Chains A and B, each alone.
Chain A
Amino acid sequence: MDTGMGPRTVAGRLEALPDEQYDRLMGLAREVSFPAGARLFEEHRAANQFWIIKTGSVALDLHVPGCRAAVIETLGPGDLVGWSWLFPPRQWHMGAEARSTVRAREFDAEAVRRLCGRDPALGYPLVLAVAEVIGHRLECARTRLLDLYGPYGSEPPR
């Protein structure tokens, strides 16, 4: 469907898989919902699931002792929540919290990893889709490092 930039989200990528692969992958997912304020996961814990958001917003945060949790980025419909399940040590780098009521597809990470191992024809595009998400987020994080809206762009004040 030609609306928005949907095809460029991870949901859009997966929808582009052949029907048979898509159905097998989605067979490992279940519909879940979180009320606003619910924690999806905490930093340093084992990364055993991941989610693709259908509606609502999820904040990724980092806990700094003595401060409120710092929100690093918010994710919305079509976005992938969590990629740490794919690589060792399979621990979350950050925490995640529902900012509003969130409806999502939840995947069992271990089952997806096994499926990918058994069926590289499905595993490769899936890993590519996740890698693209990681690359895009790295790009965005680097852009934010420039502090482009700061008083002097990327330059120190003179």
Chain B
Amino acid sequence: MNPAAARPSSRPFPYRVVRRARETADVATFELSPVGDALPPFRPGQFAMVYAFGVGEIPVSVSGLDDGEPTLVHTVRAVGAVSRALYGLRVGDTVGVRGPYGVGWDLASAAGLDVLVVAGGIGLAPLRPLILDGLAQPGRYGRLTVLIGARTPSDLLYRAQTRAWGAEAHIDVTVDHPEPDWRGDVGVVTRLLSRGTWSPSRVCAFVCGPEPMIHAVAGELVRAGTPPHRVQVSLERNMRCGEGFCGHCQLGSVLLCRDGPVTDWGRAEPLLAVKEL
């Protein structure tokens, strides 16, 4: 054992909800502020284990980071017992938070290249801090393109903010099921790839969404000439501890909580190709 190099397993730290914004009918964004000591700083793409009192704990990516501030922003979709409890939180409520866990997005590897962000559904949440980082350092990267897919226009996250990004980045949005007043695109997000003005061989892509969507997007990019190591994807598996002890998040050779959730397509593709791995 080499305990000197390792961080001890941790209990949750109490964080208070200081802001809550309802994004859609089943998605809400929370800003959390530490009640006492703060956790170490998070990086875009990393996740926290968030505990709802008496209900349980789930992994949630950071969807916003305030540089130099200890606040954490998380966007939660109510799909299970814990996420429903988190969705129902109100300002002033307290949750438990552990982290930071996992390997985040490697935006630095995109220096000098075009940046392509492809998000499906709630997959935009872990990508938002990356987009904000990219927008904050315009000289470092080439063109920034953000492609967003959602189920319906009402399911789009961060609507006002994504419109504002349009001033400095190319933003394209598509939905599966349009509503009567929807004037934007209809269809899967992969259809938007053909509209880009970025160059496949000089782009670094960051992709998050349902696994078949990740597969389709990464597959098209690689076929168009993007090297697999320049396509970063964020994957999801069952997680209990976040610290590499519980074994639940295995995807073949990868322990997603420790080696992921962000991994490059060169590594992910052969693993995702095996059914039920």
Which A residues are within 8 Å of any B CB, using their own CB?
2-9, 57, 59, 68, 71-74, 76-79, 99, 139-140, 143-144, 146-153
How many chain B residues sit at the interface, stated as a range, is 35 or more
The CA-CA distance from A72 to B178 in the complex, in Å, is 8
Closest residue to B201 on the A side, CB-wise? A2
B188:A143 contact, CB within 8 angstroms: yes
Contact of A74 among B150, B186, B196 (CB under 8 A): B186
The CA-CA distance from A59 to B197 in the complex, in Å, is 22
Interface presence of B210 (CB below 8 A):
yes
Residues of A within 8 A of B196 (CB): 3-5
A140-B198 contact, Cβ under 8 Å, with A147-B151, A149-B176: no
B224:A7 contact, CB within 8 angstroms: yes
Interface presence of B121 (CB below 8 A):
yes
B121:A5 contact, CB within 8 angstroms: no
Residues of A within 8 A of B200 (CB): 2, 4-5
The CA-CA distance from A7 to B225 in the complex, in Å, is 11
A149:B121 contact, CB within 8 angstroms: yes
Residues of A within 8 A of B180 (CB): 68
Residues of A within 8 A of B182 (CB): 71
Residues of B within 8 A of A74 (CB): 174, 184-187
Residues of A within 8 A of B202 (CB): 2
* 13 cross-chain CB contacts under 8 A: A2-B225, A3-B199, A4-B193, A4-B198, A6-B194, A7-B224, A8-B194, A71-B186, A143-B216, A146-B212, A149-B121, A149-B149, A153-B210
Min distance, Cβ A55 to any Cβ of chain B, angstroms: 11
Interface presence of B120 (CB below 8 A):
yes
Contact of A151 among B79, B186, B191 (CB under 8 A): B79
Residues of B within 8 A of A147 (CB): 151, 176
A2:B199 contact, CB within 8 angstroms: yes
Min distance, Cβ A152 to any Cβ of chain B, angstroms: 7
The CA-CA distance from A146 to B120 in the complex, in Å, is 14
A148:B121 contact, CB within 8 angstroms: yes
Interface presence of B195 (CB below 8 A):
yes
A73:B186 contact, CB within 8 angstroms: yes
A152-B194 contact, Cβ under 8 Å, with A8-B224, A74-B185: no
Closest residue to B152 on the A side, CB-wise? A149
Beyond A3-B196, A139-B216, 4 extra complex contacts between A and B, CB < 8 Å:
A3-B198, A73-B191, A99-B183, A149-B209
Min distance, Cβ A137 to any Cβ of chain B, angstroms: 9
Residues of A within 8 A of B150 (CB): 149
Min distance, Cβ B180 to any Cβ of chain A, angstroms: 6
A143-B194 contact, Cβ under 8 Å, with A8-B220, A74-B185, A149-B149: no
Min distance, Cβ B276 to any Cβ of chain A, angstroms: 15
A140:B195 contact, CB within 8 angstroms: no
